[in-house]
Structure 1
Amino acid sequence: MTVLLNLICYQSSMKMANHTEVREFVFQGFSNFHEHQLTLFIVFLIVYILTLAGNVIIVTVIRIDHHLHTPMYFFLSVLSTMLSASETVYTLVIIPKMLCNLLGLSRPISLAGCATQMFFFITLAINNCFLLTAMGYDRYVAICNPLRYMILMNKRVCLQLVGAACSIGLIVAMTQVLAVFRLPFCATKVAHFFCDIRPVMKLSCIDTTVNEILTLIISVLVILVPMGLVFISYVLIISSILKIASAKGRKKAFATCASHLTVVIVHYGCASIAYLKPKSENTRDQDQLISVTYTVITPLLNPVVYTLRNKEVKDALLRATGKKPS
């Protein structure tokens, strides 16, 4: 992986015969908020610690609680673990560098380092998109075809869905990174706090229209298509729930989907704003605010949502602390 990224960046530098060679980038980060950088550092550090703690607790509890290892809760366990692991990893590749920048301890990042950061961020973000889509299908089967749930959502099918989500993330991320880092770069200052696609492409010496079209196509495929599938799932789910005779049964069915639907709205909403809007619509500060939402705030929301809105995980946490679930 590292060797391939180094090769990509080397080819990029070799294409710049008529330009100043660029070997590293410098993040401008939150330089426009110079007087508030210490405050931002403290806030982001607290959020980061809470995010890591929350995700580690959820992964650990799911791992040790045997009640969540049954076929009925297998995919819930896998999704919660995968989301928590994904959030933990991509915060690790973004937030520590951002915190250093806020303290004025920033160091340049090499082209290979930038490519690696972009690769892991895109991979994990896309994994989440398709895992949430698979979870929508899981909820659809659980509510609309409960008697066939064990057949339709057996362990093999669940593992195939998870494997497909991870594979798509890896393939799309490699495609995007290859396309971006084959460009020749003339500038070194990234108007962002991490190596996101558009801020890095702006540093290119040549026209990036083809890359922008590719990025838009990929964004539509990995955001709108999964979001559409989730929407279809919930139309069918709501239709089935409304047919349930008892109010208690309808409430229980809605509660089953509440945590997933909350994460879906936050994840797809932030992703749509960030990658499907016209590139000139927002200012640099607005773009960074949107990015903070899905790189700092959303990773904190996921463990909170799955803890407070998901009865099975909440019960597992209570059992882990020696308390009896209600």
Structure 2
Amino acid sequence: MREKTEAKLKEIQNMDIIEPVEGPSSWVRPIAVTPKQSGDIRLCVDMTQANEAIIKERHPIPTIDEILNELNGSYSLCDKNALHVSGRCYWKITEYLNFFNAHKRCQAEGGILAEIPDQEAQTEIMVFFYLPRDIWIGVNDIKEEGKFVNMLNETVSYTNWDWTSGEPNNKDPVAADVGDCVRISHGRWFDTGCFRTFHALCSQRHNIECKCPCAIMKNRVIIKNEAELLTKIDNMKKELTVNKSLLSSSIRKRTSAVDPRPSASIVGGTISVVIIATFVGFIALSDLTRVINFCWKTILKRWNNIKRATQEEKV
């Protein structure tokens, strides 16, 4: 057993579970060795004293009120793969779709084919998504040639056309189609045929009416105002509330509850006293019988001794 114990200690030392201690230590504890059916051994040790020296880590879970206080009016909950800039959230669709299907896909995810309102958004988008290749944005002049609008039918005020190639020119050099839809390539805008297929850039406006602006998150929740937000929080609190009546401590209290009725306390108390007195009486009676028998035998023995002595004196 000693050889197995030393081998086991060496094994767990090599696994970096324990380490040798040189010299006296206040944390040394005895071990108990238990053999297993497989022939191996199990080492058991009382770590009560050693655990007193461990500094326990605390990870308190914040309450909903604390989280809301930390948000302090900031409602942007953008996904790590989305960009938040110029009051909008942007995300990328990596499937090859035509202009119309790309817009439908963005709508399915809670947004529209992207609008780019200024140079800041253009620059951040190019850096964040790294867009050297073609990608659809939500700009077109389908209804009126030369009047470019976004997917909300608002006139586009910012553009970044490739002036060196004469854009916008209402032509598509690849497809035999008029250039009514806009794509970005190497940071520049090009008038392109709407049925060509590219990746797509989606966006969603982030304003005070939208608490959860990035719709690409799974199980997304769109909250339109503060009253709705507070209502959802109250519902969450109710769902997370523990039913104390189902706790084991509550069940124990119910099953062993005190009956407040006077009759119950009198009858129960009387019966318990009678049972205890009867039990003690039986014990005392059995002991008394033994005492009487012992005394009677002792008296008879003394009497016989006296009688025998008297007879011997007469002889």
Q: Is TM > 0.5 for Structure 1 vs Structure 2?
A: no
Which of the pair has more CA radius of gyration? 2
Q: TM-score range by the shorter chain?
A: under 0.3
Normalised by the length of structure 1, the TM-score is 0.20
More relative contact order, 1 or 2 (CA 8 Å, 6+ apart): 1
Normalised by the length of structure 2, the TM-score is 0.20
